[in-house]
Each structure stands twice: as structure tokens, then as C-alpha cells.
Copies of this chain bind each other. A is one copy, B any other.
Amino acid sequence: MTKDTQKLNSIEKALEIMLKFQDIKPSWGIRELSTELGFSPATVQRILQVLKSYEFVRQNPKNRQYFIGNIFYRFLENLNSSNDLIRIGHKFMEEVASATHETVHLNIIEKNLRICIDNIESPKVLKAGMPIGNQSPLYAGASAKCLLAFSTEEFQDNYFKTTEITPVTGNTIIQPGKLFKELYKIKEQGYALSLGERTPGLGSLSAPVFNYKGQILASLSLAIPEIRLKQKDHLSNCINILTSASKSFSKAMGLGTGKF
């Protein structure tokens, strides 16, 4: 999992430990982290004490296990306000939300994963949830495939070289040939469509957002329950609204203005 371990300085060790608290896992023990990371229990213990004093982790006083601290919420406000994508993009998301009444979300690539960085939930009773922070591999679901499809060839090559493809649901495309074809198709038609690749019964529609250089920044997506996705007129309506919004969004990010 982690690199050659050992030979890391103390800060790197602390960060490696913090990264472990990304996993959806209620808590970690010291010896557990120790064997997982290859650091001695004494080292893990000492680092966790420091992280605890800064509230990056908390400790259950009963079983003394460590779990993630609420301090991470504190970074979100700055993250959102320094992020042009969210600042500029939210109004396009609102347009799509009010025109489709479906859950709208915005996604980026972070360390080989799709991650949701902004959302507007559908007002309907039957709706798709897509909380901020939700993540998935880049081959499962329209939003993820859209990000991958419009990435550079270099990024794609590197991604497939370093990633093992394992199905998330029965509908996940795992055959490399079929996946390449799908990515090609997405680039051709300018949007991605998926059904149940990540969550059974849940479909997804996604269009790319580019910067002034034409590099992909994000994917703007709709998460739609299967029942509504199968209504042809609703689907084609959603496709039109979404692709049109993503084009305006890209323009707002500088695409086509020749700005440098």
C-alpha cells in the first residue's frame, strides 16, 4: 500500500498515519497501525499523542482506540472559498438543479479517485444522495468515467498501470477493452451515462468542465434514480440541460476566451 516505508522522516510518518484515517473504519489501535505501516508501536503511540493534542484524532477513553477528529471539518470553509470551481460553479449547479429537480454534484480527481466536492440534493422524495466527500474509483459511475475519459493520455496510462480494477457492483465495467471503448464513446458524445455501476438502482449522467487550456477540471453530474432515468423524455431533457450548463461553466472558467 504505502511506499517503501521506513526511511520516512517523522512528519511523513505522521502524515501516513493521518492518511489511514481516510478509510471508512470506525477506529484504529496502535499495534494495528504499527503492523499496517511498519512503524514501531512506540513511534505510532508518540505520533498519535501529538495528533490527539491537536484534535486531528480523538481517543475513546474506554477502549483507548483512536478515531478521526472533527478538526477536518474546519478546513472545508477555506477549501470551498479558495476553490474557483465551487465559487464559480455553484450557480450553474443551481440552474441544473432547478431545471431537472435531480441531485446535482461536482467532482474532481484526487489521488486516483473521483471525489464529490459540491452538491445540491433533489427536492423529490425518491432521490439520490451524493454527499460532499463521497469517493469512488475512476472506472465506476458516469462522473468518474467522465473525469477519466477527458484526462490526458499520460494520466490514463499511468492510472491503468497502477490500478487494479475490481467490480463495485455487478454492473461495473471491468473488462479493459470494454472500458476503453466506453471512454472513447464518452469523449465522442461529450457526456457519460451509467446505471448501477456504483450503487444498484442509481443512474448517473456527467459532463466535463474544462479550463482555458482545455484541460479537465471537474465533472458536473446528475445522480438519478433508475426509475426516472428510464423515462426517455426526462433523460434527454437532463442531457441537454447538463451539457449546456457544463459548456457555460467551462466558458466561465476561461475556456475559449484565449486568456492566458
Question: What residues make up the interface of A, taking CB atoms closer than 8 Å to B?
Answer: 9-12, 14-15, 19, 21-27, 47, 50-51, 54-56, 67-68, 70-82, 108, 110-111, 113, 115-117, 120-121, 123, 131-135
Contact = CB atoms under 8 A, between A and B. Distances in A.
Given A12-B50, A117-B70, A22 B55 contact: no
Say how many copies of this protein the assembly contains: 2
Contacts of A79: 68, 70, 72-73, 133
B23 A133 contact: no
B11 A77 contact: no
Contact of A50 (B9, B26, B50, B77): B9
Given A10-B11, A14-B14, A68-B79, A110 B74 contact: yes
A111 B120 CA distance: 28
A54 B19 contact: yes
21 contacts: A11-B47, A12-B50, A14-B15, A15-B51, A15-B56, A21-B78, A22-B77, A23-B78, A24-B77, A25-B78, A55-B110, A55-B111, A70-B115, A72-B79, A73-B76, A73-B110, A73-B133, A74-B133, A77-B131, A77-B135, A121-B121
